[in-house]
Amino acid sequence: MSTSLRRWRSCRCLEVSCLDQAVDSKTLAEAILFSSDKPVGLKTLQRALRIRSEPKLRSIIESLRQEYSGRAVEIVELEDGRFFMRLRPDLAQYAKRFTRRKALPHGVLKTLATIAYYQPLPMSSLAAIRGKDAYRQLRILVERGLVETEKSGRTSVLRTTQLFADLFGVENNPQTVRSLISKMIAQTQKQGIETSLKHASKNNTKNGPVAHRHP
């Protein structure tokens, strides 16, 4: 190992050591949850905070959750044990246009809608509906904590998560979520028709009144 590399590692270790001494574990946990754009698991937090005891880590997170209670931002635990810092669902509509979080690509959203509508959906069926790219899109959705997988025989069954339900302000059951997707599709179709009519109206105004022809 070169001298420069050893020196860099030594400085890096010293930097981390100083950080550990200057910042307590709860503050570091808060920083990690705030910075992450996807749910963070206990194992990841344990490694990052150098805490071996899971009960101790859970105690730290619970203390954080209590501090955020009643505030605009909250810390939630997903069904798979991962944690996520988010804006309270009842405030989402007010802050929507100011969000900095990167939106999901259109293809990923279509895959999410497919899973939400047909859940519980076998992974093989998803691939048949959405094509080969569905596997890559599914990984994104799982990382975001919006979809969960459950092994069933040779395949896996896909469902939306509690986080998905919370984000849309509905109960976490297939019937309610399916109804939500149906309403969203109907609204999208309605908006599409209204947009087409507006464009047609503008074109008619620009080109003058349309002459009526008698049959």
Report residue 152: phi and psi, to 5°: -145, 95
Length of the chain: 215
Strand partners for 86 = 74
Confidence of residue 213 (pLDDT cuts 50, 70, 90): very low
For the chain, the average pLDDT equals 77
Closest Cα to residue 82, out of 31, 38, 35?
A: 38
What is the radius of gyration, based on Cα positions, of the chain?
24
pLDDT digits (tens, 9 = 90+) for 25-81: 899 999 999 988 778 889 999 999 999 999 999 999 999 999 998 899 999 887 778
Q: Judge if pTM exceeds 0.85.
A: no
Q: Chain centroid to CA 85: how far?
A: 11
What's the rounded Cα separation, in Å, for the pair 74 and 196?
A: 41
CB-based contacts of 30-37 (< 8 A; 24+ apart in sequence): 30/64, 33/64, 33/75, 33/83, 33/84, 33/85, 34/85, 36/84, 36/85, 37/101, 37/102, 37/144
pLDDT at position 77: 85
Contacts of 75 (CB under 8 A, 6+ apart): 33, 61, 64, 65, 68, 83, 84, 85
Q: Does residue 194 register a pLDDT over 70?
A: no
Under DSSP, is residue 64 helix (H, G, I), strand (E, B) or coil? helix
Residue carrying structure tokens 């988010």: 86
Q: Do 177 and 170 touch, CB atoms closer than 8 A?
A: yes
The structure tokens listed for 149 are 């997988």
Q: Do 163 and 76 touch, CB atoms closer than 8 A?
A: yes
Domains along the chain? Answer: 24-88 (1.10.10.10), 101-205 (1.10.10.10)
